[in-house]
């Protein structure tokens, strides 16, 4: 029985120990651990909406949809050390859909990459929390992301470079479904397949909505399972709002050798706030006072699974 413990999970300085530890991780979560992660996600949503309301800028929709995906990676699956963020053998985590930075920053703060009180400075002049992720400003960020698709190729580059020196390390890339409109995503996919990047795990936050409207209207991507499969990927599906399911999908991806894996995580844009769910208006709109009150009532009232 593996005991889950913050200190152990995030202590990555002793690389060999952590490596061995993570190979032994069970296929499903301890119920207590699962409940803990779910409670974290609930708090992250509350805090992100609070921050975005207070600063009157930023992207709520995609931050809410990617919550469990990032939580599964950062709290369960990835090896890194917040106290030594540049540890060279760490797993790389690249939020290619960089506009979901508010959720990423909230999680990095929870992991003590930087103090939680910094979150309220998000997007303001003088803050280290830029509108889109920037490694030279914020600890825990690997590379600038934001221009969609570019983070994906960059993440592949990390995976291939890491393979030369740290074959046990993984690179996690988180894509948005709108982001896959970008041609560079498919160029990267061809390269990942050619170079058999089995240490490269892609998670698609398939929230079905982009800035201008429903994804299947703005740019229909068709059968994305068939597309990724045709590009040489091992394609896995999961419920992107079930932390345990995301964890299991990551384990499945790690078990696949000789080819890259993509996890198509089914999500809801704006998840957790009824009037934001599936509504492109909340891709990047400022949250007015009335909407904020309603959102808080829902999030704090425990409507997450509704």
Task: List interacting residues with other proteins (CB under 8 A).
Answer: 88, 92, 94, 134-136, 142-144, 146-147, 149-162, 164-165, 183-184, 187-188, 190-191, 194-195
Measuring CA to CA, which residue among 125, 233, 136 is closest to residue 180? 233
Please, which residues have CB within 8 angstroms of residue 284's CB and are 6 or more apart in sequence?
58, 59, 60, 61, 99, 211
Comparing CB distances to other proteins, the nearer of 193 and 274 is: 193
Backbone angles phi, psi at 189, to 5 degrees: -60, -40
Q: Nearest distance from residue 180's CB to other proteins, in Å?
A: 14
Q: How far apart are CA 217 and CA 209, in angstroms?
A: 9
Q: Nearest distance from residue 74's CB to other proteins, in Å?
A: 18
Comparing CB distances to other proteins, the nearer of 82 and 189 is: 189
Buried b (16+ CB within 10 A) or exposed e, 82-112: beebeeebbbbbbbbbbbbbbbbbbbbbbbe
Q: Nearest distance from residue 154's CB to other proteins, in Å?
A: 3
Please, which residues have CB within 8 angstroms of residue 35's CB and are 6 or more apart in sequence?
none
Q: Nearest distance from residue 172's CB to other proteins, in Å?
A: 13
Measuring CA to CA, which residue among 223, 173, 205, 204 is closest to residue 283? 205
Q: How far apart are CA 153 and CA 100, in angstroms?
A: 18
Comparing CB distances to other proteins, the nearer of 91 and 298 is: 91
How many CB atoms neighbour CB 134 within 10 A?
17
Q: Nearest distance from residue 142's CB to other proteins, in Å?
A: 6
Comparing CB distances to other proteins, the nearer of 50 and 198 is: 198
Comparing CB distances to other proteins, the nearer of 74 and 150 is: 150
How many CB atoms neighbour CB 142 within 10 A?
18
Comparing CB distances to other proteins, the nearer of 191 and 279 is: 191
Q: Nearest distance from residue 150's CB to other proteins, in Å?
A: 5
């Amino acid at each position: 029985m593996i005991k889950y413990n913050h200190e152990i999970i995030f202590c990555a300085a002793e690389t060999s120990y952590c490596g061995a530890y993570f190979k032994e991780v069970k296929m499903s979560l301890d119920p207590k651990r699962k409940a803990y992660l779910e409670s974290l996600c609930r708090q992250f949503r509350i805090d992100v909406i609070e921050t975005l309301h207070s600063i009157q800028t930023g992207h709520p929709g995609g931050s809410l949809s990617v919550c469990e995906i990032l939580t599964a990676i950062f709290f369960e699956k990835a090896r890194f050390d917040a106290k030594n963020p540049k540890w060279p053998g760490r797993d790389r985590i690249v939020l290619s859909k960089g506009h979901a930075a508010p959720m990423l920053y909230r999680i990095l703060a929870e992991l003590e990459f930087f103090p939680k009180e910094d979150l309220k400075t998000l997007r303001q002049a003088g803050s280290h929390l830029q509108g889109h992720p920037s490694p030279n400003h914020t600890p825990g960020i690997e590379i600038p992301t934001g221009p969609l698709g570019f983070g994906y190729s960059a993440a592949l580059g990390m995976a291939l470079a890491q393979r030369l020196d740290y074959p046990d390390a993984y690179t996690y890339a988180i894509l948005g479904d709108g982001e896959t409109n970008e041609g560079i995503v498919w160029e990267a996919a061809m390269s990942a397949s050619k170079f058999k990047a089995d240490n490269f795990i892609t998670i698609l936050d398939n929230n079905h909505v982009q800035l201008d409207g429903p994804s299947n209207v703005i740019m229909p991507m068709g059968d994305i399972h068939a597309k990724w499969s045709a590009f040489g990927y091992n394609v896995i599906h999961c419920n992107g709002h079930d932390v345990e399911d995301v964890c299991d999908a990551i384990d499945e991806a790690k078990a696949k050798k000789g080819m890259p894996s993509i996890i198509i995580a089914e999500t809801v844009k704006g998840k957790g706030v009824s009037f934001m769910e599936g509504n492109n208006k909340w891709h990047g709109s400022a949250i007015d006072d009335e909407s904020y009150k309603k959102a808080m009532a829902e999030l704090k009232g425990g409507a997450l699974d509704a």
